[in-house]
Structure 1
Amino acid sequence: MRFFLQVARTGRLTEAARALGVDHATVSRRVGALERALSARLFDRSPRGYALTEAGRALLPTAEAMESASMLAAAEVGGRQDELSGAVRIGMPEGAASHLAPAAVADLVESYPRLEIQIVALPRTFSLSQREADFAIVVTPPAAGRLRIRKIADYRLQLYGSAELLGDRPPRTPEELRRWRLVGYVPDLIFDKGLDYLTEIPGAPTPAVASTSLLVQLEMVAAGAGLGMLPEFMARRRPGLVPVMPEVTRITRAYWLVMHQDTAELARIRRVARAFADAMRARL
Protein backbone atom coordinates (compact mmCIF):
# COMPACT_ATOMS: atom_id res chain seq x y z
CA MET A 1 0.00 0.00 0.00
CA ARG A 2 2.90 2.41 0.70
CA PHE A 3 4.22 1.83 -2.81
CA PHE A 4 0.75 2.24 -4.31
CA LEU A 5 0.26 5.56 -2.47
CA GLN A 6 3.60 6.99 -3.54
CA VAL A 7 3.03 6.14 -7.21
CA ALA A 8 -0.50 7.56 -7.01
CA ARG A 9 0.89 10.81 -5.57
CA THR A 10 3.84 11.26 -7.93
CA GLY A 11 2.59 9.56 -11.09
CA ARG A 12 6.09 8.22 -11.81
CA LEU A 13 8.07 5.18 -10.68
CA THR A 14 11.35 7.07 -10.44
CA GLU A 15 9.93 9.81 -8.20
CA ALA A 16 8.14 7.24 -6.02
CA ALA A 17 11.35 5.21 -5.75
CA ARG A 18 13.33 8.28 -4.70
CA ALA A 19 10.80 9.12 -1.98
CA LEU A 20 10.77 5.54 -0.69
CA GLY A 21 14.52 5.05 -0.83
CA VAL A 22 14.45 2.08 -3.22
CA ASP A 23 15.02 1.53 -6.95
CA HIS A 24 12.23 1.91 -9.49
CA ALA A 25 12.22 -1.84 -10.27
CA THR A 26 11.26 -2.53 -6.65
CA VAL A 27 8.39 -0.06 -6.88
CA SER A 28 7.16 -1.65 -10.11
CA ARG A 29 7.39 -5.12 -8.57
CA ARG A 30 5.45 -4.13 -5.43
CA VAL A 31 2.71 -2.37 -7.39
CA GLY A 32 2.40 -5.36 -9.67
CA ALA A 33 2.15 -7.70 -6.69
CA LEU A 34 -0.62 -5.58 -5.19
CA GLU A 35 -2.55 -5.60 -8.45
CA ARG A 36 -2.28 -9.38 -8.67
CA ALA A 37 -3.38 -9.78 -5.05
CA LEU A 38 -6.43 -7.60 -5.66
CA SER A 39 -7.12 -8.96 -9.15
CA ALA A 40 -7.43 -5.38 -10.37
CA ARG A 41 -5.41 -2.99 -12.54
CA LEU A 42 -4.71 0.07 -10.39
CA PHE A 43 -2.81 2.21 -12.89
CA ASP A 44 -2.86 3.01 -16.58
CA ARG A 45 0.76 3.00 -17.77
CA SER A 46 1.89 5.40 -20.51
CA PRO A 47 5.04 7.32 -21.50
CA ARG A 48 3.63 10.24 -19.50
CA GLY A 49 3.57 8.17 -16.29
CA TYR A 50 1.12 6.27 -14.11
CA ALA A 51 -2.52 7.40 -13.88
CA LEU A 52 -5.03 5.86 -11.49
CA THR A 53 -7.71 3.63 -12.98
CA GLU A 54 -11.23 3.57 -11.58
CA ALA A 55 -10.15 0.72 -9.28
CA GLY A 56 -7.11 2.73 -8.18
CA ARG A 57 -9.24 5.76 -7.37
CA ALA A 58 -11.59 3.55 -5.35
CA LEU A 59 -8.64 2.14 -3.37
CA LEU A 60 -7.00 5.50 -2.65
CA PRO A 61 -9.14 6.62 0.36
CA THR A 62 -8.69 3.26 2.07
CA ALA A 63 -4.93 3.32 1.48
CA GLU A 64 -4.71 6.85 2.90
CA ALA A 65 -6.72 5.81 5.97
CA MET A 66 -4.36 2.84 6.50
CA GLU A 67 -1.37 5.17 6.25
CA SER A 68 -2.89 7.56 8.80
CA ALA A 69 -3.71 4.72 11.19
CA SER A 70 -0.14 3.49 10.91
CA MET A 71 1.25 6.95 11.67
CA LEU A 72 -1.00 7.31 14.72
CA ALA A 73 -0.04 3.86 16.00
CA ALA A 74 3.66 4.63 15.62
CA ALA A 75 3.26 7.92 17.45
CA GLU A 76 1.36 6.32 20.36
CA VAL A 77 3.69 3.36 20.78
CA GLY A 78 6.99 4.95 19.84
CA GLY A 79 7.39 7.57 22.54
CA ARG A 80 5.87 9.85 25.14
CA GLN A 81 4.03 13.05 24.24
CA ASP A 82 6.85 15.25 25.62
CA GLU A 83 9.50 13.61 23.45
CA LEU A 84 8.41 14.87 20.07
CA SER A 85 10.55 13.79 17.14
CA GLY A 86 10.37 13.44 13.40
CA ALA A 87 9.63 15.80 10.54
CA VAL A 88 6.69 18.18 10.29
CA ARG A 89 6.16 19.87 6.93
CA ILE A 90 4.19 23.12 6.81
CA GLY A 91 2.86 24.78 3.67
CA MET A 92 2.37 28.51 4.14
CA PRO A 93 2.68 31.90 2.40
CA GLU A 94 6.21 33.26 2.36
CA GLY A 95 5.27 36.54 4.04
CA ALA A 96 3.98 34.70 7.09
CA ALA A 97 6.84 32.19 6.92
CA SER A 98 9.53 34.88 6.89
CA HIS A 99 8.00 37.44 9.26
CA LEU A 100 5.65 35.59 11.63
CA ALA A 101 6.89 32.00 11.99
CA PRO A 102 10.61 32.25 12.99
CA ALA A 103 9.93 32.78 16.70
CA ALA A 104 7.75 29.66 16.82
CA VAL A 105 10.40 27.61 15.02
CA ALA A 106 13.16 28.80 17.37
CA ASP A 107 11.11 27.84 20.45
CA LEU A 108 10.12 24.45 19.03
CA VAL A 109 13.60 23.29 18.07
CA GLU A 110 14.93 24.48 21.40
CA SER A 111 12.26 22.55 23.31
CA TYR A 112 12.29 19.46 21.08
CA PRO A 113 15.79 18.89 19.64
CA ARG A 114 14.67 15.77 17.75
CA LEU A 115 11.94 17.66 15.90
CA GLU A 116 12.54 18.60 12.26
CA ILE A 117 10.64 21.58 10.87
CA GLN A 118 10.20 21.86 7.09
CA ILE A 119 8.55 25.05 5.79
CA VAL A 120 7.41 25.06 2.17
CA ALA A 121 6.85 28.73 1.32
CA LEU A 122 5.90 28.40 -2.34
CA PRO A 123 3.16 30.25 -4.26
CA ARG A 124 0.86 27.25 -4.54
CA THR A 125 -1.85 25.28 -2.77
CA PHE A 126 -1.09 22.08 -0.86
CA SER A 127 -2.89 18.74 -0.81
CA LEU A 128 -2.98 17.49 2.78
CA SER A 129 -4.61 14.20 1.73
CA GLN A 130 -1.60 13.50 -0.52
CA ARG A 131 0.81 14.40 2.30
CA GLU A 132 2.31 17.36 0.44
CA ALA A 133 2.26 19.02 3.87
CA ASP A 134 1.28 17.95 7.38
CA PHE A 135 -0.72 21.14 7.82
CA ALA A 136 -1.16 24.37 5.91
CA ILE A 137 -1.60 28.02 6.74
CA VAL A 138 -3.67 29.75 4.07
CA VAL A 139 -5.44 33.00 3.25
CA THR A 140 -8.50 31.36 1.70
CA PRO A 141 -9.59 28.14 3.47
CA PRO A 142 -10.71 25.22 1.28
CA ALA A 143 -14.42 24.63 0.98
CA ALA A 144 -14.37 20.83 0.94
CA GLY A 145 -12.44 17.84 2.22
CA ARG A 146 -11.91 15.92 5.46
CA LEU A 147 -10.25 18.89 7.08
CA ARG A 148 -10.11 20.75 10.36
CA ILE A 149 -10.03 24.49 9.75
CA ARG A 150 -9.44 27.15 12.39
CA LYS A 151 -8.97 30.88 12.04
CA ILE A 152 -5.64 32.17 13.35
CA ALA A 153 -6.02 35.95 13.10
CA ASP A 154 -6.85 38.86 10.83
CA TYR A 155 -4.13 40.98 9.28
CA ARG A 156 -4.24 44.24 7.37
CA LEU A 157 -2.67 45.34 4.11
CA GLN A 158 -2.43 48.71 2.46
CA LEU A 159 -0.66 50.48 -0.37
CA TYR A 160 2.92 51.57 0.32
CA GLY A 161 5.63 53.42 -1.53
CA SER A 162 9.17 54.49 -0.74
CA ALA A 163 9.55 57.97 0.72
CA GLU A 164 12.02 58.79 -2.05
CA LEU A 165 9.62 57.78 -4.81
CA LEU A 166 6.61 59.55 -3.30
CA GLY A 167 8.45 62.79 -2.54
CA ASP A 168 6.05 65.59 -1.61
CA ARG A 169 3.35 64.68 -4.17
CA PRO A 170 1.89 61.29 -3.22
CA PRO A 171 -1.40 60.26 -4.88
CA ARG A 172 -4.41 61.38 -2.90
CA THR A 173 -7.32 60.23 -5.08
CA PRO A 174 -8.09 57.16 -7.23
CA GLU A 175 -7.71 59.35 -10.31
CA GLU A 176 -4.17 60.33 -9.31
CA LEU A 177 -3.35 56.72 -8.45
CA ARG A 178 -3.98 55.68 -12.07
CA ARG A 179 -0.89 57.61 -13.09
CA TRP A 180 1.43 55.68 -10.79
CA ARG A 181 3.32 52.48 -11.48
CA LEU A 182 2.22 49.53 -9.32
CA VAL A 183 4.01 46.44 -8.05
CA GLY A 184 1.97 43.27 -7.52
CA TYR A 185 1.41 39.62 -8.32
CA VAL A 186 1.60 38.23 -11.84
CA PRO A 187 -2.15 38.34 -12.63
CA ASP A 188 -2.51 34.93 -14.29
CA LEU A 189 -0.32 33.21 -11.67
CA ILE A 190 -2.25 34.24 -8.55
CA PHE A 191 -2.88 30.87 -6.91
CA ASP A 192 -5.21 32.14 -4.16
CA LYS A 193 -8.08 34.52 -4.95
CA GLY A 194 -7.52 36.15 -1.55
CA LEU A 195 -4.20 37.53 -2.84
CA ASP A 196 -5.80 39.45 -5.70
CA TYR A 197 -5.63 42.69 -3.69
CA LEU A 198 -5.38 45.31 -6.40
CA THR A 199 -8.79 44.53 -7.86
CA GLU A 200 -10.27 45.94 -4.64
CA ILE A 201 -8.46 49.28 -4.87
CA PRO A 202 -10.30 52.03 -6.80
CA GLY A 203 -8.18 53.37 -9.63
CA ALA A 204 -5.48 50.74 -9.33
CA PRO A 205 -3.98 49.85 -12.74
CA THR A 206 -2.53 46.46 -13.72
CA PRO A 207 0.89 45.97 -12.09
CA ALA A 208 3.75 47.16 -14.28
CA VAL A 209 6.21 45.26 -12.07
CA ALA A 210 4.97 41.81 -11.07
CA SER A 211 6.29 38.78 -9.19
CA THR A 212 4.89 35.58 -7.74
CA SER A 213 6.96 36.35 -4.62
CA LEU A 214 5.71 38.76 -1.96
CA LEU A 215 9.27 39.22 -0.68
CA VAL A 216 10.36 40.31 -4.15
CA GLN A 217 7.44 42.76 -4.26
CA LEU A 218 8.50 44.16 -0.88
CA GLU A 219 12.04 44.76 -2.13
CA MET A 220 10.79 46.32 -5.36
CA VAL A 221 8.58 48.76 -3.48
CA ALA A 222 11.42 49.61 -1.08
CA ALA A 223 13.73 50.23 -4.06
CA GLY A 224 11.26 52.69 -5.60
CA ALA A 225 10.09 50.53 -8.52
CA GLY A 226 6.48 51.42 -7.77
CA LEU A 227 3.69 51.35 -5.19
CA GLY A 228 2.56 48.01 -3.83
CA MET A 229 0.03 46.36 -1.53
CA LEU A 230 1.94 44.97 1.45
CA PRO A 231 0.94 43.43 4.80
CA GLU A 232 1.39 45.94 7.59
CA PHE A 233 3.40 43.40 9.63
CA MET A 234 6.02 43.36 6.85
CA ALA A 235 6.00 47.03 5.86
CA ARG A 236 6.38 48.40 9.37
CA ARG A 237 9.82 46.76 9.59
CA ARG A 238 10.97 49.00 6.75
CA PRO A 239 11.12 52.61 7.98
CA GLY A 240 11.56 53.93 4.44
CA LEU A 241 8.07 52.79 3.40
CA VAL A 242 5.16 55.23 3.59
CA PRO A 243 1.41 54.34 3.56
CA VAL A 244 -0.47 55.66 0.53
CA MET A 245 -4.16 56.63 0.76
CA PRO A 246 -4.75 54.31 3.76
CA GLU A 247 -8.39 55.35 4.06
CA VAL A 248 -8.97 53.91 0.56
CA THR A 249 -6.39 51.15 0.16
CA ARG A 250 -6.45 49.39 3.55
CA ILE A 251 -8.03 45.93 3.40
CA THR A 252 -8.28 43.00 5.80
CA ARG A 253 -7.42 39.34 5.25
CA ALA A 254 -7.04 36.41 7.64
CA TYR A 255 -4.72 33.45 8.09
CA TRP A 256 -6.33 30.04 8.59
CA LEU A 257 -4.88 26.82 9.97
CA VAL A 258 -5.86 23.76 7.92
CA MET A 259 -5.21 20.20 9.10
CA HIS A 260 -6.31 16.83 7.75
CA GLN A 261 -8.62 14.90 10.06
CA ASP A 262 -6.54 11.74 9.77
CA THR A 263 -3.34 13.32 11.11
CA ALA A 264 -4.62 16.18 13.27
CA GLU A 265 -4.19 14.09 16.44
CA LEU A 266 -0.55 13.21 15.83
CA ALA A 267 1.27 14.77 18.77
CA ARG A 268 4.08 16.37 16.78
CA ILE A 269 1.71 17.84 14.17
CA ARG A 270 -0.76 19.09 16.76
CA ARG A 271 2.00 20.69 18.89
CA VAL A 272 3.75 22.39 15.96
CA ALA A 273 0.45 23.66 14.52
CA ARG A 274 -0.52 25.16 17.88
CA ALA A 275 2.89 26.83 18.24
CA PHE A 276 2.68 28.38 14.78
CA ALA A 277 -0.86 29.62 15.33
CA ASP A 278 -0.03 31.08 18.75
CA ALA A 279 3.10 32.84 17.48
CA MET A 280 1.31 34.31 14.47
CA ARG A 281 -1.61 35.46 16.57
CA ALA A 282 0.72 37.17 19.04
CA ARG A 283 2.60 39.02 16.29
CA LEU A 284 -0.60 40.11 14.55
Structure 2
Amino acid sequence: MHTDERLAVDQRRLPSPDDLLILLTVARLGRFNAVAETLGTTHTTISRRILALDKQLGGRTLERSPHGWELTQLGASAVEAAEAIESTLGSLSGLISQDQSALSGLVRVATTDGVGAVFVTPALVRLQQQNPQLNIEMLSATRKVSQNRSGVDLEIVVGRTDVSNAQTIFLSNYYLRLYASPGYAAAHGLPETLDDVGQHGFVSYVESALQVAELGHRWSSQLPMPSSSFQATSVFAQMEAVRQGAGIGLLPNFMVAGQPDFVPVLADDFERQLPIWAVARPESLRSAAVQAVVASLKEEVKARAGVLAG
Protein backbone atom coordinates (compact mmCIF):
# COMPACT_ATOMS: atom_id res chain seq x y z
CA MET A 1 0.00 0.00 0.00
CA HIS A 2 1.34 3.42 -0.96
CA THR A 3 2.02 6.03 1.72
CA ASP A 4 -0.79 8.30 0.52
CA GLU A 5 -3.23 5.36 0.58
CA ARG A 6 -2.24 4.49 4.15
CA LEU A 7 -2.66 8.17 5.11
CA ALA A 8 -6.17 8.22 3.63
CA VAL A 9 -7.13 5.11 5.64
CA ASP A 10 -5.71 6.57 8.87
CA GLN A 11 -7.56 9.83 8.35
CA ARG A 12 -10.83 7.96 7.98
CA ARG A 13 -10.22 6.35 11.37
CA LEU A 14 -9.64 9.66 13.11
CA PRO A 15 -12.68 11.05 14.93
CA SER A 16 -14.02 14.43 13.91
CA PRO A 17 -12.73 17.23 16.19
CA ASP A 18 -16.18 18.86 15.96
CA ASP A 19 -17.81 15.65 17.19
CA LEU A 20 -15.31 15.37 20.04
CA LEU A 21 -16.16 18.91 21.14
CA ILE A 22 -19.87 18.04 21.00
CA LEU A 23 -19.18 15.03 23.23
CA LEU A 24 -17.33 17.31 25.65
CA THR A 25 -20.35 19.61 25.85
CA VAL A 26 -22.67 16.64 26.47
CA ALA A 27 -20.36 15.48 29.26
CA ARG A 28 -20.61 18.92 30.87
CA LEU A 29 -24.34 19.53 30.48
CA GLY A 30 -25.73 16.00 30.49
CA ARG A 31 -28.66 16.62 28.14
CA PHE A 32 -28.81 16.72 24.35
CA ASN A 33 -31.43 19.50 24.45
CA ALA A 34 -29.19 21.73 26.57
CA VAL A 35 -26.24 21.01 24.29
CA ALA A 36 -28.34 21.86 21.23
CA GLU A 37 -29.38 25.18 22.79
CA THR A 38 -25.77 26.00 23.70
CA LEU A 39 -24.44 25.15 20.24
CA GLY A 40 -27.37 26.63 18.30
CA THR A 41 -28.45 23.37 16.68
CA THR A 42 -31.03 20.61 17.24
CA HIS A 43 -31.38 17.58 19.48
CA THR A 44 -31.44 15.38 16.37
CA THR A 45 -28.16 16.81 15.10
CA ILE A 46 -26.45 16.24 18.44
CA SER A 47 -27.69 12.65 18.56
CA ARG A 48 -26.55 12.05 14.99
CA ARG A 49 -23.07 13.45 15.63
CA ILE A 50 -22.62 11.33 18.76
CA LEU A 51 -23.64 8.21 16.81
CA ALA A 52 -21.12 9.12 14.11
CA LEU A 53 -18.42 9.54 16.75
CA ASP A 54 -19.28 6.18 18.29
CA LYS A 55 -18.93 4.57 14.88
CA GLN A 56 -15.55 6.23 14.30
CA LEU A 57 -14.29 5.14 17.72
CA GLY A 58 -15.74 1.64 17.52
CA GLY A 59 -17.85 1.78 20.69
CA ARG A 60 -20.28 3.79 22.77
CA THR A 61 -19.08 7.02 24.34
CA LEU A 62 -22.21 7.71 26.38
CA GLU A 63 -24.71 5.78 28.42
CA ARG A 64 -28.01 6.99 29.83
CA SER A 65 -28.43 7.10 33.59
CA PRO A 66 -30.94 8.63 36.04
CA HIS A 67 -28.51 11.56 36.21
CA GLY A 68 -28.49 12.28 32.47
CA TRP A 69 -25.93 11.15 29.91
CA GLU A 70 -22.73 9.81 31.51
CA LEU A 71 -19.41 8.94 29.88
CA THR A 72 -18.30 5.38 29.27
CA GLN A 73 -14.62 4.52 29.68
CA LEU A 74 -14.18 5.09 25.95
CA GLY A 75 -16.07 8.37 26.23
CA ALA A 76 -13.84 9.55 29.08
CA SER A 77 -10.75 8.93 26.93
CA ALA A 78 -12.37 10.79 24.04
CA VAL A 79 -13.19 13.74 26.31
CA GLU A 80 -9.53 14.01 27.28
CA ALA A 81 -8.72 14.47 23.60
CA ALA A 82 -11.59 16.96 23.26
CA GLU A 83 -10.27 19.02 26.18
CA ALA A 84 -6.86 19.17 24.49
CA ILE A 85 -8.52 20.39 21.29
CA GLU A 86 -10.51 22.99 23.23
CA SER A 87 -7.37 24.23 24.98
CA THR A 88 -5.48 24.50 21.69
CA LEU A 89 -8.34 26.38 20.03
CA GLY A 90 -8.55 28.69 23.02
CA SER A 91 -4.85 29.49 22.75
CA LEU A 92 -5.22 30.16 19.04
CA SER A 93 -8.21 32.42 19.66
CA GLY A 94 -6.19 34.31 22.25
CA LEU A 95 -3.33 34.82 19.81
CA ILE A 96 -5.73 36.14 17.18
CA SER A 97 -7.28 38.56 19.64
CA GLN A 98 -3.85 39.45 21.11
CA ASP A 99 -5.09 38.34 24.53
CA GLN A 100 -4.03 34.81 25.42
CA SER A 101 -5.83 34.99 28.77
CA ALA A 102 -9.26 35.85 27.33
CA LEU A 103 -12.11 33.42 27.92
CA SER A 104 -14.81 32.79 25.34
CA GLY A 105 -17.85 30.63 24.76
CA LEU A 106 -21.02 30.20 26.82
CA VAL A 107 -21.35 29.38 30.52
CA ARG A 108 -24.78 28.46 31.92
CA VAL A 109 -25.27 29.03 35.64
CA ALA A 110 -28.33 28.09 37.70
CA THR A 111 -28.70 29.87 41.02
CA THR A 112 -31.15 30.66 43.77
CA ASP A 113 -32.97 33.98 43.54
CA GLY A 114 -31.43 36.02 46.34
CA VAL A 115 -27.87 34.71 46.16
CA GLY A 116 -28.04 35.04 42.39
CA ALA A 117 -29.04 38.69 42.46
CA VAL A 118 -26.73 39.83 45.25
CA PHE A 119 -23.58 37.77 44.73
CA VAL A 120 -23.63 35.72 41.52
CA THR A 121 -24.66 38.56 39.20
CA PRO A 122 -21.87 40.99 40.18
CA ALA A 123 -19.31 38.18 40.06
CA LEU A 124 -20.41 37.18 36.55
CA VAL A 125 -20.62 40.77 35.28
CA ARG A 126 -17.09 41.47 36.50
CA LEU A 127 -15.80 38.31 34.84
CA GLN A 128 -17.52 39.16 31.56
CA GLN A 129 -16.12 42.69 31.61
CA GLN A 130 -12.67 41.14 31.88
CA ASN A 131 -13.49 38.67 29.09
CA PRO A 132 -15.77 40.35 26.53
CA GLN A 133 -15.99 37.19 24.40
CA LEU A 134 -17.52 35.22 27.28
CA ASN A 135 -21.31 34.78 27.16
CA ILE A 136 -23.36 34.14 30.29
CA GLU A 137 -26.78 32.57 30.84
CA MET A 138 -28.08 32.75 34.42
CA LEU A 139 -31.19 30.77 35.40
CA SER A 140 -32.80 31.70 38.72
CA ALA A 141 -34.83 29.22 40.76
CA THR A 142 -34.99 28.37 44.45
CA ARG A 143 -34.52 24.62 44.43
CA LYS A 144 -32.39 21.92 45.97
CA VAL A 145 -29.37 20.67 44.08
CA SER A 146 -30.42 18.82 40.94
CA GLN A 147 -29.92 15.05 41.02
CA ASN A 148 -29.58 14.72 37.24
CA ARG A 149 -26.83 17.35 37.03
CA SER A 150 -28.01 18.32 33.59
CA GLY A 151 -28.58 21.40 31.49
CA VAL A 152 -26.15 23.83 33.14
CA ASP A 153 -22.41 24.12 33.65
CA LEU A 154 -22.67 25.19 37.28
CA GLU A 155 -25.34 25.32 39.98
CA ILE A 156 -25.29 27.65 42.98
CA VAL A 157 -27.47 26.13 45.70
CA VAL A 158 -28.15 26.55 49.41
CA GLY A 159 -28.73 23.92 52.06
CA ARG A 160 -27.80 20.27 51.88
CA THR A 161 -26.10 18.83 48.80
CA ASP A 162 -26.86 15.10 48.66
CA VAL A 163 -25.36 14.24 45.28
CA SER A 164 -23.03 11.43 44.30
CA ASN A 165 -22.15 12.24 40.70
CA ALA A 166 -20.95 15.82 41.05
CA GLN A 167 -18.37 17.90 42.86
CA THR A 168 -19.39 20.42 45.49
CA ILE A 169 -17.44 23.56 46.37
CA PHE A 170 -18.25 25.41 49.57
CA LEU A 171 -18.58 29.17 49.05
CA SER A 172 -19.89 30.62 52.31
CA ASN A 173 -22.48 30.44 55.05
CA TYR A 174 -25.26 32.97 55.49
CA TYR A 175 -28.10 33.51 57.95
CA LEU A 176 -31.88 33.69 57.85
CA ARG A 177 -33.27 35.98 60.54
CA LEU A 178 -36.62 37.46 61.49
CA TYR A 179 -37.58 40.94 60.32
CA ALA A 180 -40.61 43.22 60.33
CA SER A 181 -41.28 46.68 58.95
CA PRO A 182 -41.28 49.77 61.20
CA GLY A 183 -44.94 50.31 60.30
CA TYR A 184 -45.89 46.77 61.31
CA ALA A 185 -43.94 47.11 64.57
CA ALA A 186 -45.75 50.38 65.38
CA ALA A 187 -49.19 48.95 64.60
CA HIS A 188 -48.86 45.46 66.13
CA GLY A 189 -45.82 45.55 68.39
CA LEU A 190 -43.04 42.99 68.22
CA PRO A 191 -42.91 39.58 69.93
CA GLU A 192 -40.89 39.30 73.13
CA THR A 193 -40.39 35.54 72.85
CA LEU A 194 -40.42 32.99 70.02
CA ASP A 195 -43.77 31.69 71.25
CA ASP A 196 -45.20 35.18 70.74
CA VAL A 197 -44.35 34.95 67.02
CA GLY A 198 -47.44 32.73 66.66
CA GLN A 199 -49.64 35.76 67.40
CA HIS A 200 -48.38 37.57 64.30
CA GLY A 201 -48.68 37.25 60.57
CA PHE A 202 -45.74 35.45 58.99
CA VAL A 203 -44.09 35.88 55.59
CA SER A 204 -42.18 32.98 54.03
CA TYR A 205 -41.89 30.64 51.04
CA VAL A 206 -44.83 28.61 49.75
CA GLU A 207 -44.24 25.46 51.77
CA SER A 208 -45.97 23.12 49.28
CA ALA A 209 -43.71 24.32 46.45
CA LEU A 210 -40.49 24.64 48.44
CA GLN A 211 -37.66 22.27 47.53
CA VAL A 212 -35.15 23.64 50.06
CA ALA A 213 -36.79 22.74 53.35
CA GLU A 214 -34.35 24.81 55.40
CA LEU A 215 -35.79 28.00 53.91
CA GLY A 216 -39.31 27.30 55.10
CA HIS A 217 -41.17 28.21 58.28
CA ARG A 218 -41.95 24.58 59.16
CA TRP A 219 -38.37 23.33 59.00
CA SER A 220 -37.68 24.46 62.55
CA SER A 221 -39.89 23.58 65.52
CA GLN A 222 -38.67 26.78 67.16
CA LEU A 223 -41.19 28.82 65.20
CA PRO A 224 -44.86 28.39 66.19
CA MET A 225 -47.67 28.33 63.65
CA PRO A 226 -48.59 31.93 62.80
CA SER A 227 -52.00 33.54 63.12
CA SER A 228 -51.91 34.22 59.36
CA SER A 229 -49.40 33.75 56.57
CA PHE A 230 -48.25 35.36 53.36
CA GLN A 231 -46.32 32.88 51.23
CA ALA A 232 -44.49 33.58 47.97
CA THR A 233 -42.07 31.60 45.80
CA SER A 234 -39.88 34.70 45.28
CA VAL A 235 -37.74 36.09 48.07
CA PHE A 236 -38.15 39.54 46.51
CA ALA A 237 -41.92 39.26 46.88
CA GLN A 238 -41.44 38.21 50.50
CA MET A 239 -39.26 41.25 51.15
CA GLU A 240 -41.90 43.53 49.67
CA ALA A 241 -44.64 41.84 51.70
CA VAL A 242 -42.68 42.45 54.92
CA ARG A 243 -42.02 46.05 53.85
CA GLN A 244 -45.75 46.54 53.27
CA GLY A 245 -46.63 45.22 56.73
CA ALA A 246 -47.88 41.68 55.96
CA GLY A 247 -46.12 40.30 59.03
CA ILE A 248 -42.81 39.04 60.31
CA GLY A 249 -40.57 37.55 57.66
CA LEU A 250 -37.83 34.93 57.67
CA LEU A 251 -35.39 36.66 55.34
CA PRO A 252 -31.73 36.37 54.26
CA ASN A 253 -29.74 38.77 56.39
CA PHE A 254 -27.53 39.80 53.47
CA MET A 255 -30.57 41.19 51.64
CA VAL A 256 -32.09 43.31 54.41
CA ALA A 257 -29.66 43.87 57.28
CA GLY A 258 -29.08 47.56 57.94
CA GLN A 259 -31.93 48.72 55.71
CA PRO A 260 -34.30 51.19 57.42
CA ASP A 261 -37.38 49.39 56.05
CA PHE A 262 -36.59 46.26 58.08
CA VAL A 263 -36.49 45.95 61.86
CA PRO A 264 -34.74 42.91 63.41
CA VAL A 265 -37.04 40.68 65.46
CA LEU A 266 -35.68 38.59 68.37
CA ALA A 267 -32.18 39.01 66.98
CA ASP A 268 -30.57 37.36 70.02
CA ASP A 269 -32.98 34.43 70.13
CA PHE A 270 -33.30 33.09 66.60
CA GLU A 271 -31.20 32.61 63.48
CA ARG A 272 -30.81 29.85 60.91
CA GLN A 273 -27.46 29.23 59.20
CA LEU A 274 -27.30 27.84 55.66
CA PRO A 275 -24.33 27.02 53.42
CA ILE A 276 -23.94 28.20 49.83
CA TRP A 277 -22.40 25.69 47.41
CA ALA A 278 -21.21 25.61 43.82
CA VAL A 279 -22.00 22.22 42.25
CA ALA A 280 -20.96 20.84 38.87
CA ARG A 281 -19.97 17.75 36.95
CA PRO A 282 -16.22 17.03 37.01
CA GLU A 283 -16.08 17.64 33.24
CA SER A 284 -17.56 21.11 33.73
CA LEU A 285 -15.11 22.01 36.47
CA ARG A 286 -12.21 21.28 34.13
CA SER A 287 -13.45 24.04 31.81
CA ALA A 288 -11.35 27.20 32.07
CA ALA A 289 -14.48 29.35 31.86
CA VAL A 290 -16.25 27.46 34.67
CA GLN A 291 -13.10 27.58 36.80
CA ALA A 292 -13.03 31.35 36.25
CA VAL A 293 -16.69 31.62 37.31
CA VAL A 294 -16.01 29.70 40.53
CA ALA A 295 -12.95 31.87 41.25
CA SER A 296 -14.97 35.04 40.68
CA LEU A 297 -17.69 33.78 43.02
CA LYS A 298 -15.15 32.95 45.72
CA GLU A 299 -13.67 36.42 45.33
CA GLU A 300 -17.12 38.02 45.64
CA VAL A 301 -18.17 36.19 48.80
CA LYS A 302 -14.76 36.71 50.41
CA ALA A 303 -14.83 40.44 49.75
CA ARG A 304 -18.32 40.69 51.24
CA ALA A 305 -17.96 38.31 54.17
CA GLY A 306 -19.27 40.98 56.52
CA VAL A 307 -22.52 41.26 54.56
CA LEU A 308 -23.03 37.49 54.75
CA ALA A 309 -22.37 37.40 58.49
CA GLY A 310 -24.78 40.29 59.00
Same fold per superposition (TM over 0.5): yes
Unaligned runs of 5+ in 1: 41-54
**Which residue pairs with 1:258 in the alignment?**
279
Q: 2:106 aligns with which of 76, 87, 109?
A: 87
Q: Deviations over 1:163-213 (max 9, x none)?
A: 001117211123321111111111121112332355326343266211111
Q: Does structure 2 conserve the Cα–Cα contact (< 8 Å) formed by 1:126 and 1:132?
A: no
Q: For the structure 1 residues 128 and 66, does the alpha-carbon distance in structure 2 shift closer, same or farther, using more than 3 Å as the test?
A: farther
Q: How does 1:70-81 map to 2 (within 5 A)?
A: 72-80=83-91
Q: For the structure 1 residues 237 and 140, does the alpha-carbon distance in structure 2 shift closer, same or farther, using more than 3 Å as the test?
A: same
Aligned length: 270
Distance in 1, matches of 2:293 and 2:259, equals 29
1:102 and 2:121 are equivalent in the alignment: yes
Q: Does structure 2 conserve the Cα–Cα contact (< 8 Å) formed by 1:159 and 1:245?
A: yes
Q: Secondary structure at the match of 1:204?
A: coil
Q: Secondary structure at the match of 1:205?
A: coil
Give percent identity, aligned residues only. Answer: 26
**Which residue pairs with 1:278 in the alignment?**
299
**Which residue pairs with 1:178 in the alignment?**
198
Say what the alpha-carbon RMSD is for the aligned residues: 3.8
Q: For the structure 1 residues 30 and 279, does the alpha-carbon distance in structure 2 shift closer, same or farther, using more than 3 Å as the test?
A: closer
The structure with the larger Rg is 2
Please give the TM-score of this superposition, normalised by the length of structure 1.
0.77
Q: Does structure 1 conserve the Cα–Cα contact (< 8 Å) formed by 2:285 and 2:291?
A: yes
Q: Which amino acid aligns with 1:264?
A: L
**Which residue pairs with 1:123 in the alignment?**
142
Q: How does 1:191-202 map to 2 (within 5 A)?
A: 191-200=211-220, 202=222
Please give the TM-score of this superposition, normalised by the length of structure 2.
0.71
Q: Which amino acid aligns with 2:285?
A: A
Of 181-190 and 170-179, the range deviating more from structure 2: 170-179
Q: Which amino acid aligns with 2:268?
A: E
More helix by share: 2
Structure 1 residue 215: deviation in Å?
A: 1.4
Q: Secondary structure at the match of 2:284?
A: coil
Unaligned runs of 5+ in 2: 1-18, 92-99
Q: For the structure 1 residues 164 and 32, does the alpha-carbon distance in structure 2 shift closer, same or farther, using more than 3 Å as the test?
A: same
Q: 1:164 aligns with which of 171, 179, 183?
A: 183
Q: Secondary structure at the match of 2:285?
A: coil
Q: 2:170 aligns with which of 145, 148, 151?
A: 151
Q: Which amino acid aligns with 2:266?
A: M
Structure 1 residue 131: deviation in Å?
A: 3.8
